[in-house]
Structure 1
């Protein structure tokens, strides 16, 4: 399972390209805004994703060349137990 920062970054990279955004990746400024990360943390996250085989990032100076390799491996966190049974048992 990916760490939170990298999972969030990968999720944004997977979902961002669309007909609205003309099928392109967000630039560094947009990624900083969307993730709330500084540039140094953003670069660490992208390097982590590349090292672990989630993305291919040939041009490190721009985000336009990023290609997603693995996206089906993302696991959802387990659902939080609700306390509905507690309230319904009275």
Structure 2
């Protein structure tokens, strides 16, 4: 499971490219505004995502070449089974 700041960064990278943004990744200034983090923190977050296999980031000087490999799979627990309600009332 990803830490909160890296998960937020990954979600921004996944959801940002669209026809409105001309299918490109946000630049560092835009990421600073969207995440509230400074550039050194963003660089360490992006490096963390790359080290853990979530993104490929060939050119470390820009965000244009970032490719998303996988998203975080959320593991949901099954809902509690309360059969007593249906059988005893």
Query: What TM-score, normalized by structure 1, do the two folds share?
Result: 0.81
How far off is 1:75 after superposition?
2.1
1:16 equivalent in structure 2? 16
3-state DSSP class of the match of 2:29? helix
1:75 and 2:74 correspond? yes
2:76, 2:27 → 1: CA distance? 28
**Structure 1 stretches lacking a partner, 5+ long:** 79-90
Cα RMSD of the aligned pairs, angstroms, is 1.6
How far off is 1:74 after superposition?
3.6
Deviant stretches of 4+, over 3 Å: none
Alignment: residue pair count: 77
Q: Give the number of the structure whose alpha-carbon radius of gyration is greater.
A: 2
2:36 equivalent in structure 1? 36
2:54 equivalent in structure 1? 54
